[in-house]
A and B are shown apart, each in its own frame.
Chain A
Amino acid sequence: KAGVTQTPRYLIKTRGQQVTLSCSPISGHRSVSWYQQTPGQGLQFLFEYFSETQRNKGNFPGRFSGRQFSNSRSEMNVSTLELGDSALYLCASSLVQGEGELFFGEGSRLTVL
């Protein structure tokens, strides 16, 4: 069965722009989590969605938002990009919310110039 798919894999934006990243979870998985990975901070939790509802949110500013659709696909959006938003954004899916193994995609590498 196909794994977690993230698009785009790489993108370059300039400060002040906004970006939307997409994640398709493993078929049958209803929970989607997003993490930001940077060299200095490691993997930082952004948010988790289950059945189209945000169930958990990490400590990120309101510029970071997300949503989940009825087919469990998820998007995250970052508005008014800052240089510090440059990171690898990882999406992970799991069968149920809040327990068990997370299956990660390969990430979307965002560079903000």
Chain B
Amino acid sequence: GESVGLHLPTLSVQEGDNSIINCAYSNSASDYFIWYKQESGKGPQFIIDIRSNMDKRQGQRVTVLLNKTVKHLSLQIAATQPGDSAVYFCAENRGGNTPLVFGKGTRLSVIA
């Protein structure tokens, strides 16, 4: 499959455990954030988003937390499954019709 990142930080978790993937963003003017999942050989897929007027948003098995004070974003995956193995990217929108800026990504490896 595609190699999307040979130098990425890697998080290894046991199947069934919870995963937490972190992301630091740089621009305090950023007002919209998205988490993407990229599986081998595929393009990034939307997981969940959050606007800057919120500090938490929940989806199915996923939760995004936003801490604007320290410019930190996290993605929590509950009961991690083998199918969650992928590279996860955070992306920020810095407003004013500017393009999404992506973080470097974190590789999640689920141990069965």
- The chain A residues found within 8 Å of chain B, CB to CB, are 4, 33, 35, 37, 39-40, 42-43, 45, 48, 55-56, 58, 88, 90, 92, 97-99, 101-107, 109
Contact = CB atoms under 8 A, between A and B. Distances in A.
Given A39-B4, A42-B102, A88-B2, A104 B97 contact: no
The binding surface of chain A is classed by DSSP as strand
Given A43-B89, A56-B97, A101 B49 contact: yes
B99 A58 contact: yes
B97 A97 contact: yes
Nearest to A40: B7
Q: Is the interface of B mostly helix, strand, loop or mixed?
A: loop
Contacts of A4: 43
Interface of B: 2-7, 32, 34, 36, 41-46, 49, 89, 91, 93, 96-105
Nearest to A96: B97
Contacts of B49: 101
Q: Which of B3, B4, B93 gathers most chain A CB within 10 Å?
A: B4
A58 B5 CA distance: 21
User: 3 tightest CB-CB pairs across the interface, nearest first?
Assistant: A98-B97, A104-B43, A43-B102
